[in-house]
Structure 1
Amino acid sequence: MPDLLLLHGALGAASTLYPLQQLLAADHTVHTLDFSGHGGKALPQAPFRIELFAEDVLRYLDQHQLQQVAIFGYSMGGYVALYLALRHPDRVSRIFTLATKFAWSAETAAKEVKMLQPEKVQEKVPAFAAVLANRHQPQDWQEVMRRTADMMQHLGSQPLLTEETLSRLAIPVRVSVGDRDNMVSLQETAWAYEHLPDAELQVFPGTQHPLEKVDLGQLQHEIRQFFGRAAV
Protein backbone atom coordinates (compact mmCIF):
# COMPACT_ATOMS: atom_id res chain seq x y z
CA MET A 1 0.00 0.00 0.00
CA PRO A 2 1.17 3.58 -0.59
CA ASP A 3 2.83 5.38 2.30
CA LEU A 4 1.05 8.32 3.92
CA LEU A 5 2.56 10.45 6.68
CA LEU A 6 0.36 12.39 9.11
CA LEU A 7 1.85 15.46 10.84
CA HIS A 8 0.34 16.97 13.98
CA GLY A 9 -0.17 20.61 14.87
CA ALA A 10 1.34 22.98 17.43
CA LEU A 11 0.98 21.67 21.01
CA GLY A 12 -0.12 18.39 19.45
CA ALA A 13 1.39 14.92 19.26
CA ALA A 14 1.22 11.82 17.13
CA SER A 15 -1.47 10.52 19.52
CA THR A 16 -3.89 13.22 18.36
CA LEU A 17 -3.80 11.65 14.90
CA TYR A 18 -4.37 8.03 15.93
CA PRO A 19 -8.16 8.07 15.27
CA LEU A 20 -7.54 9.37 11.73
CA GLN A 21 -4.65 6.94 11.27
CA GLN A 22 -6.94 4.02 12.06
CA LEU A 23 -9.54 5.19 9.54
CA LEU A 24 -6.92 5.44 6.78
CA ALA A 25 -5.12 2.17 7.51
CA ALA A 26 -7.20 0.16 5.03
CA ASP A 27 -5.86 2.15 2.07
CA HIS A 28 -2.41 3.30 3.15
CA THR A 29 0.57 2.37 5.22
CA VAL A 30 0.06 5.25 7.62
CA HIS A 31 2.96 6.82 9.48
CA THR A 32 3.05 9.54 12.10
CA LEU A 33 5.60 10.98 14.49
CA ASP A 34 6.08 13.36 17.38
CA PHE A 35 7.97 16.54 16.59
CA SER A 36 10.91 17.33 18.89
CA GLY A 37 9.69 18.23 22.38
CA HIS A 38 6.15 16.96 21.70
CA GLY A 39 4.37 13.83 22.88
CA GLY A 40 7.00 13.14 25.52
CA LYS A 41 10.00 13.45 23.21
CA ALA A 42 12.99 15.23 24.70
CA LEU A 43 13.03 19.00 24.47
CA PRO A 44 15.76 19.97 22.01
CA GLN A 45 18.60 22.29 22.90
CA ALA A 46 17.67 24.41 19.89
CA PRO A 47 14.48 26.52 19.96
CA PHE A 48 11.30 25.27 18.31
CA ARG A 49 11.38 26.15 14.62
CA ILE A 50 9.62 24.91 11.47
CA GLU A 51 13.07 24.04 10.13
CA LEU A 52 13.75 21.83 13.17
CA PHE A 53 10.48 19.97 12.73
CA ALA A 54 11.14 19.48 9.00
CA GLU A 55 14.44 17.86 9.99
CA ASP A 56 12.48 15.55 12.31
CA VAL A 57 10.41 14.43 9.33
CA LEU A 58 13.43 13.96 7.09
CA ARG A 59 15.10 11.87 9.80
CA TYR A 60 11.96 9.74 10.09
CA LEU A 61 11.86 9.16 6.33
CA ASP A 62 15.51 8.12 6.30
CA GLN A 63 15.14 5.83 9.31
CA HIS A 64 12.16 4.07 7.73
CA GLN A 65 13.74 4.00 4.27
CA LEU A 66 10.95 6.04 2.72
CA GLN A 67 12.33 7.65 -0.40
CA GLN A 68 9.12 9.55 -1.10
CA VAL A 69 5.90 9.99 0.82
CA ALA A 70 2.54 11.73 0.63
CA ILE A 71 1.74 13.96 3.61
CA PHE A 72 -1.38 15.11 5.42
CA GLY A 73 -0.54 18.01 7.71
CA TYR A 74 -2.90 19.42 10.31
CA SER A 75 -2.35 23.09 11.26
CA MET A 76 1.40 23.57 11.89
CA GLY A 77 1.98 20.12 10.41
CA GLY A 78 0.85 21.43 7.04
CA TYR A 79 3.32 24.31 7.26
CA VAL A 80 6.11 21.84 8.06
CA ALA A 81 5.09 19.62 5.14
CA LEU A 82 5.16 22.47 2.64
CA TYR A 83 8.50 23.73 3.91
CA LEU A 84 9.96 20.22 3.72
CA ALA A 85 8.74 19.86 0.14
CA LEU A 86 10.42 23.14 -0.77
CA ARG A 87 13.74 22.00 0.70
CA HIS A 88 13.53 18.37 -0.46
CA PRO A 89 11.12 18.22 -3.41
CA ASP A 90 12.11 14.65 -4.27
CA ARG A 91 10.92 13.33 -0.89
CA VAL A 92 7.28 14.51 -1.00
CA SER A 93 4.79 13.45 -3.68
CA ARG A 94 1.71 15.46 -2.67
CA ILE A 95 0.36 17.35 0.33
CA PHE A 96 -3.06 17.85 1.93
CA THR A 97 -3.24 20.57 4.60
CA LEU A 98 -6.07 21.30 7.01
CA ALA A 99 -6.31 24.46 9.15
CA THR A 100 -2.78 25.60 8.35
CA LYS A 101 -2.09 29.24 9.16
CA PHE A 102 -0.40 31.02 6.26
CA ALA A 103 -0.79 34.68 7.27
CA TRP A 104 2.18 35.31 9.55
CA SER A 105 3.22 38.80 10.57
CA ALA A 106 4.27 40.47 13.80
CA GLU A 107 0.63 41.37 14.40
CA THR A 108 -0.81 37.91 13.80
CA ALA A 109 1.95 36.30 15.85
CA ALA A 110 1.22 38.63 18.77
CA LYS A 111 -2.44 37.65 18.60
CA GLU A 112 -1.61 33.94 18.68
CA VAL A 113 0.94 34.30 21.47
CA LYS A 114 -1.67 35.95 23.72
CA MET A 115 -3.40 32.57 23.87
CA LEU A 116 -0.16 30.76 24.74
CA GLN A 117 0.45 31.95 28.30
CA PRO A 118 0.77 28.81 30.45
CA GLU A 119 -0.18 30.46 33.74
CA LYS A 120 -3.39 31.86 32.28
CA VAL A 121 -4.22 28.56 30.55
CA GLN A 122 -3.74 26.72 33.86
CA GLU A 123 -6.03 29.20 35.61
CA LYS A 124 -8.77 29.67 33.03
CA VAL A 125 -8.89 26.29 31.22
CA PRO A 126 -7.48 23.72 33.65
CA ALA A 127 -9.05 20.84 31.71
CA PHE A 128 -7.01 21.79 28.63
CA ALA A 129 -3.90 22.16 30.78
CA ALA A 130 -4.47 18.63 32.08
CA VAL A 131 -4.77 17.32 28.53
CA LEU A 132 -1.48 18.98 27.58
CA ALA A 133 0.24 17.69 30.71
CA ASN A 134 -0.79 14.13 29.88
CA ARG A 135 0.03 14.51 26.18
CA HIS A 136 3.59 15.74 26.68
CA GLN A 137 4.68 13.96 29.86
CA PRO A 138 7.35 13.56 31.11
CA GLN A 139 8.13 16.92 29.51
CA ASP A 140 6.73 20.13 31.02
CA TRP A 141 3.74 21.20 28.94
CA GLN A 142 4.26 24.80 30.05
CA GLU A 143 7.74 24.80 28.52
CA VAL A 144 6.33 23.29 25.32
CA MET A 145 3.83 26.15 25.19
CA ARG A 146 6.46 28.82 25.85
CA ARG A 147 8.66 27.43 23.09
CA THR A 148 5.70 27.30 20.74
CA ALA A 149 4.98 30.97 21.45
CA ASP A 150 8.61 31.82 20.71
CA MET A 151 8.42 29.90 17.42
CA MET A 152 5.30 31.82 16.40
CA GLN A 153 6.93 35.16 17.15
CA HIS A 154 9.91 34.14 15.03
CA LEU A 155 7.59 33.03 12.23
CA GLY A 156 5.81 36.37 12.46
CA SER A 157 9.06 38.18 11.72
CA GLN A 158 10.41 35.67 9.20
CA PRO A 159 7.64 33.67 7.49
CA LEU A 160 8.95 30.76 5.43
CA LEU A 161 5.99 30.39 3.08
CA THR A 162 5.76 33.48 0.88
CA GLU A 163 4.43 34.24 -2.59
CA GLU A 164 7.90 33.50 -3.96
CA THR A 165 8.50 30.23 -2.13
CA LEU A 166 5.00 28.84 -2.67
CA SER A 167 5.27 29.54 -6.40
CA ARG A 168 8.22 27.12 -6.55
CA LEU A 169 6.28 24.19 -5.12
CA ALA A 170 5.30 22.13 -8.16
CA ILE A 171 3.71 19.09 -6.50
CA PRO A 172 -0.08 18.70 -6.13
CA VAL A 173 -1.36 20.38 -2.95
CA ARG A 174 -4.82 20.67 -1.47
CA VAL A 175 -5.24 23.41 1.13
CA SER A 176 -8.35 23.18 3.26
CA VAL A 177 -9.97 25.07 6.10
CA GLY A 178 -13.12 24.87 8.16
CA ASP A 179 -15.70 27.60 7.61
CA ARG A 180 -15.92 28.13 11.40
CA ASP A 181 -12.18 28.18 12.07
CA ASN A 182 -11.44 31.17 14.34
CA MET A 183 -7.66 30.82 13.99
CA VAL A 184 -7.22 30.34 10.25
CA SER A 185 -9.17 32.38 7.72
CA LEU A 186 -10.53 31.36 4.35
CA GLN A 187 -8.78 34.45 2.97
CA GLU A 188 -5.29 33.32 3.95
CA THR A 189 -6.00 29.75 2.80
CA ALA A 190 -7.16 31.08 -0.57
CA TRP A 191 -4.00 33.20 -0.73
CA ALA A 192 -1.88 30.06 -0.47
CA TYR A 193 -4.04 28.32 -3.06
CA GLU A 194 -3.59 31.21 -5.49
CA HIS A 195 0.20 31.09 -5.28
CA LEU A 196 0.69 27.32 -5.44
CA PRO A 197 1.14 26.17 -9.07
CA ASP A 198 -0.83 22.90 -8.72
CA ALA A 199 -3.34 23.46 -5.96
CA GLU A 200 -6.91 22.80 -4.89
CA LEU A 201 -8.91 24.72 -2.29
CA GLN A 202 -11.44 23.04 -0.02
CA VAL A 203 -13.73 24.41 2.67
CA PHE A 204 -15.17 22.02 5.25
CA PRO A 205 -18.67 23.16 6.31
CA GLY A 206 -19.52 23.51 9.98
CA THR A 207 -15.90 22.88 10.96
CA GLN A 208 -13.90 24.59 13.70
CA HIS A 209 -10.13 24.63 14.18
CA PRO A 210 -9.58 21.88 16.79
CA LEU A 211 -8.93 18.51 15.21
CA GLU A 212 -11.15 16.92 17.87
CA LYS A 213 -14.10 18.79 16.37
CA VAL A 214 -13.46 17.80 12.75
CA ASP A 215 -15.75 15.21 11.12
CA LEU A 216 -13.13 12.48 10.65
CA GLY A 217 -15.38 10.46 8.39
CA GLN A 218 -15.61 13.34 5.93
CA LEU A 219 -11.91 14.06 6.28
CA GLN A 220 -11.07 10.42 5.63
CA HIS A 221 -13.17 10.48 2.46
CA GLU A 222 -11.44 13.60 1.14
CA ILE A 223 -7.96 12.31 1.99
CA ARG A 224 -8.64 8.99 0.25
CA GLN A 225 -9.97 10.84 -2.80
CA PHE A 226 -7.00 13.20 -3.02
CA PHE A 227 -4.20 10.74 -2.39
CA GLY A 228 -5.91 7.96 -4.32
CA ARG A 229 -5.33 9.87 -7.54
CA ALA A 230 -1.62 9.15 -7.31
CA ALA A 231 -2.32 5.45 -7.81
CA VAL A 232 -4.59 5.94 -10.83
Structure 2
Amino acid sequence: MRTRYPANTNLVVIDNGQYQGWKVNSRPLSKQYLDAILRTMHAALDEHPRTLMVRFDLHLPLLNFDDSPRFYDSTVISKFFKSLNAKIQHDRAVKLREGKRTHPCTLRYVWVKECREAATDHYHVAIFLNNDAYCHLGSYSNGGNNLRARIVEAWASAIGVDEFVAEDKVHCPSKPLYYINRNSVGFTTSFAKAFERLSYLAKLETKHYGDNTRSFGCSQR
Protein backbone atom coordinates (compact mmCIF):
# COMPACT_ATOMS: atom_id res chain seq x y z
CA MET A 1 0.00 0.00 0.00
CA ARG A 2 1.36 3.39 -0.97
CA THR A 3 1.89 5.95 1.78
CA ARG A 4 0.68 9.46 1.00
CA TYR A 5 2.28 12.55 2.48
CA PRO A 6 -0.20 14.17 4.91
CA ALA A 7 0.65 17.77 3.94
CA ASN A 8 0.04 16.98 0.25
CA THR A 9 -1.80 13.73 -0.37
CA ASN A 10 -0.98 13.86 -4.09
CA LEU A 11 2.59 12.88 -3.20
CA VAL A 12 3.64 9.27 -2.59
CA VAL A 13 6.32 8.72 0.08
CA ILE A 14 9.54 6.78 -0.58
CA ASP A 15 11.45 6.17 2.65
CA ASN A 16 13.48 2.97 2.26
CA GLY A 17 16.68 4.48 0.84
CA GLN A 18 16.19 2.84 -2.57
CA TYR A 19 14.28 3.75 -5.72
CA GLN A 20 14.16 1.75 -8.95
CA GLY A 21 17.38 0.01 -7.94
CA TRP A 22 19.23 3.24 -7.17
CA LYS A 23 20.40 4.38 -3.74
CA VAL A 24 18.64 7.55 -2.59
CA ASN A 25 18.61 9.83 0.43
CA SER A 26 17.25 8.14 3.54
CA ARG A 27 14.76 10.92 4.35
CA PRO A 28 11.11 10.62 3.28
CA LEU A 29 11.12 11.51 -0.42
CA SER A 30 8.49 12.19 -3.09
CA LYS A 31 8.09 9.44 -5.68
CA GLN A 32 6.85 12.01 -8.19
CA TYR A 33 9.91 14.21 -7.69
CA LEU A 34 12.27 11.23 -8.02
CA ASP A 35 10.55 10.22 -11.27
CA ALA A 36 10.93 13.74 -12.66
CA ILE A 37 14.62 13.86 -11.71
CA LEU A 38 15.25 10.54 -13.46
CA ARG A 39 13.35 11.67 -16.58
CA THR A 40 15.40 14.85 -16.73
CA MET A 41 18.70 13.00 -16.32
CA HIS A 42 17.80 10.49 -19.04
CA ALA A 43 16.62 13.26 -21.39
CA ALA A 44 19.92 15.08 -20.91
CA LEU A 45 21.94 11.94 -21.63
CA ASP A 46 19.81 11.02 -24.65
CA GLU A 47 20.83 14.29 -26.31
CA HIS A 48 24.26 14.74 -24.75
CA PRO A 49 25.86 11.35 -23.90
CA ARG A 50 28.59 13.32 -22.14
CA THR A 51 26.61 15.41 -19.66
CA LEU A 52 27.83 17.87 -17.04
CA MET A 53 25.58 18.24 -13.98
CA VAL A 54 26.05 21.34 -11.82
CA ARG A 55 24.53 21.75 -8.33
CA PHE A 56 24.07 25.17 -6.77
CA ASP A 57 21.69 27.13 -4.56
CA LEU A 58 19.94 30.41 -5.31
CA HIS A 59 18.97 32.57 -2.34
CA LEU A 60 16.41 35.35 -2.40
CA PRO A 61 17.58 38.65 -0.88
CA LEU A 62 16.24 39.95 2.38
CA LEU A 63 13.79 42.70 1.47
CA ASN A 64 15.38 45.29 3.72
CA PHE A 65 16.96 47.80 1.37
CA ASP A 66 15.31 50.82 -0.20
CA ASP A 67 15.31 49.72 -3.83
CA SER A 68 14.48 46.03 -3.25
CA PRO A 69 11.44 44.55 -4.96
CA ARG A 70 8.41 44.31 -2.69
CA PHE A 71 8.21 40.54 -3.10
CA TYR A 72 9.28 37.69 -5.33
CA ASP A 73 6.57 35.59 -6.92
CA SER A 74 6.79 32.11 -8.40
CA THR A 75 7.97 33.42 -11.78
CA VAL A 76 11.42 34.30 -10.46
CA ILE A 77 12.87 30.83 -11.07
CA SER A 78 11.42 30.72 -14.60
CA LYS A 79 13.01 34.10 -15.30
CA PHE A 80 16.34 32.72 -14.08
CA PHE A 81 16.32 29.74 -16.44
CA LYS A 82 15.15 31.86 -19.37
CA SER A 83 18.02 34.30 -18.77
CA LEU A 84 20.60 31.55 -18.24
CA ASN A 85 19.56 29.74 -21.40
CA ALA A 86 19.79 32.98 -23.41
CA LYS A 87 23.32 33.52 -22.10
CA ILE A 88 24.35 29.97 -22.96
CA GLN A 89 22.95 30.18 -26.49
CA HIS A 90 24.60 33.60 -26.98
CA ASP A 91 27.92 32.12 -25.90
CA ARG A 92 27.48 29.30 -28.43
CA ALA A 93 26.65 31.80 -31.19
CA VAL A 94 29.65 34.02 -30.40
CA LYS A 95 32.05 31.08 -30.54
CA LEU A 96 30.55 29.98 -33.85
CA ARG A 97 30.99 33.48 -35.34
CA GLU A 98 34.60 33.48 -34.14
CA GLY A 99 35.23 30.29 -36.08
CA LYS A 100 35.82 28.22 -32.96
CA ARG A 101 34.72 24.62 -32.67
CA THR A 102 31.25 24.86 -31.19
CA HIS A 103 29.11 22.17 -29.59
CA PRO A 104 25.34 22.61 -29.25
CA CYS A 105 24.05 22.74 -25.70
CA THR A 106 20.50 22.26 -24.47
CA LEU A 107 19.92 23.47 -20.92
CA ARG A 108 17.95 21.11 -18.70
CA TYR A 109 17.27 21.53 -15.02
CA VAL A 110 15.51 20.51 -11.83
CA TRP A 111 14.76 22.82 -8.93
CA VAL A 112 13.08 22.82 -5.54
CA LYS A 113 12.03 25.76 -3.41
CA GLU A 114 12.94 25.36 0.25
CA CYS A 115 11.87 27.16 3.41
CA ARG A 116 12.88 27.16 7.09
CA GLU A 117 16.53 26.31 6.44
CA ALA A 118 17.73 29.89 5.94
CA ALA A 119 16.72 33.48 6.60
CA THR A 120 14.90 33.59 3.25
CA ASP A 121 13.39 31.05 0.90
CA HIS A 122 15.91 29.59 -1.48
CA TYR A 123 16.18 27.23 -4.42
CA HIS A 124 18.23 24.08 -4.74
CA VAL A 125 19.08 23.76 -8.43
CA ALA A 126 20.77 21.27 -10.72
CA ILE A 127 21.44 22.03 -14.37
CA PHE A 128 22.50 19.61 -17.10
CA LEU A 129 24.69 20.74 -19.99
CA ASN A 130 26.64 19.23 -22.85
CA ASN A 131 30.01 18.36 -21.31
CA ASP A 132 31.61 18.94 -24.71
CA ALA A 133 30.46 22.57 -24.46
CA TYR A 134 31.09 23.20 -20.75
CA CYS A 135 33.44 21.33 -18.43
CA HIS A 136 33.92 23.60 -15.40
CA LEU A 137 32.34 26.51 -13.52
CA GLY A 138 35.07 29.11 -13.43
CA SER A 139 35.20 31.89 -10.84
CA TYR A 140 32.88 34.87 -10.78
CA SER A 141 34.08 38.33 -11.69
CA ASN A 142 32.24 41.21 -13.32
CA GLY A 143 32.21 40.50 -17.02
CA GLY A 144 33.66 37.04 -16.50
CA ASN A 145 33.27 34.74 -19.49
CA ASN A 146 32.49 31.51 -17.68
CA LEU A 147 29.58 29.42 -16.48
CA ARG A 148 29.55 30.69 -12.90
CA ALA A 149 29.45 34.30 -14.09
CA ARG A 150 26.50 33.49 -16.35
CA ILE A 151 24.65 31.88 -13.43
CA VAL A 152 25.24 34.95 -11.25
CA GLU A 153 24.21 37.32 -14.05
CA ALA A 154 21.04 35.31 -14.74
CA TRP A 155 20.05 35.34 -11.06
CA ALA A 156 20.70 39.08 -10.87
CA SER A 157 18.41 39.57 -13.86
CA ALA A 158 15.70 37.34 -12.36
CA ILE A 159 15.58 39.04 -8.96
CA GLY A 160 16.21 42.56 -10.21
CA VAL A 161 19.42 43.38 -8.34
CA ASP A 162 22.95 44.34 -9.27
CA GLU A 163 25.35 41.52 -10.02
CA PHE A 164 27.51 42.24 -6.97
CA VAL A 165 24.41 41.63 -4.81
CA ALA A 166 23.49 38.46 -6.69
CA GLU A 167 27.02 37.08 -6.39
CA ASP A 168 26.49 36.59 -2.65
CA LYS A 169 23.15 34.87 -3.32
CA VAL A 170 24.58 32.08 -5.51
CA HIS A 171 26.10 29.31 -3.41
CA CYS A 172 27.92 26.28 -4.75
CA PRO A 173 28.04 23.34 -2.32
CA SER A 174 30.97 20.98 -1.92
CA LYS A 175 31.70 19.02 -5.11
CA PRO A 176 29.14 20.77 -7.33
CA LEU A 177 30.18 19.11 -10.62
CA TYR A 178 29.25 15.64 -11.84
CA TYR A 179 30.53 14.24 -15.13
CA ILE A 180 28.24 11.54 -16.54
CA ASN A 181 29.42 9.75 -19.69
CA ARG A 182 26.93 7.21 -21.01
CA ASN A 183 29.65 5.51 -23.09
CA SER A 184 32.22 5.14 -20.32
CA VAL A 185 32.86 2.02 -18.21
CA GLY A 186 32.15 4.13 -15.11
CA PHE A 187 28.72 5.29 -16.29
CA THR A 188 26.65 3.36 -13.75
CA THR A 189 28.76 4.63 -10.86
CA SER A 190 28.71 8.27 -11.98
CA PHE A 191 24.96 8.16 -12.69
CA ALA A 192 24.29 6.56 -9.30
CA LYS A 193 26.30 9.20 -7.44
CA ALA A 194 24.58 12.04 -9.29
CA PHE A 195 21.09 10.62 -8.71
CA GLU A 196 21.77 9.98 -5.03
CA ARG A 197 22.94 13.59 -4.69
CA LEU A 198 19.84 14.88 -6.46
CA SER A 199 17.48 12.67 -4.45
CA TYR A 200 17.97 15.15 -1.59
CA LEU A 201 15.93 17.60 -3.67
CA ALA A 202 12.99 15.19 -3.48
CA LYS A 203 12.75 15.34 0.33
CA LEU A 204 9.26 16.15 1.52
CA GLU A 205 10.10 18.30 4.52
CA THR A 206 10.86 22.05 4.31
CA LYS A 207 8.68 22.52 1.22
CA HIS A 208 5.77 24.94 0.83
CA TYR A 209 2.38 23.22 0.94
CA GLY A 210 -1.09 24.69 0.75
CA ASP A 211 -0.09 28.21 -0.29
CA ASN A 212 -0.61 27.85 -4.06
CA THR A 213 3.10 28.06 -4.84
CA ARG A 214 5.21 25.44 -6.58
CA SER A 215 7.90 23.65 -4.61
CA PHE A 216 9.37 21.60 -7.47
CA GLY A 217 9.96 21.97 -11.18
CA CYS A 218 11.98 20.59 -14.05
CA SER A 219 12.56 21.18 -17.73
CA GLN A 220 9.80 19.76 -19.91
CA ARG A 221 11.87 18.19 -22.68
Give the structure-1-normalised TM-score.
Answer: 0.30
The structure carrying a bigger helix percent of its residues is 1
- Looking at CA atoms only, which structure, 1 or 2, has the larger radius of gyration? 2
**TM-score scaled to structure 2, two decimals?**
0.31
> Greater strand share, 1 or 2?
2
The answer to which structure, 1 or 2, has the higher relative contact order (CA under 8 A, 6+ apart) is 2
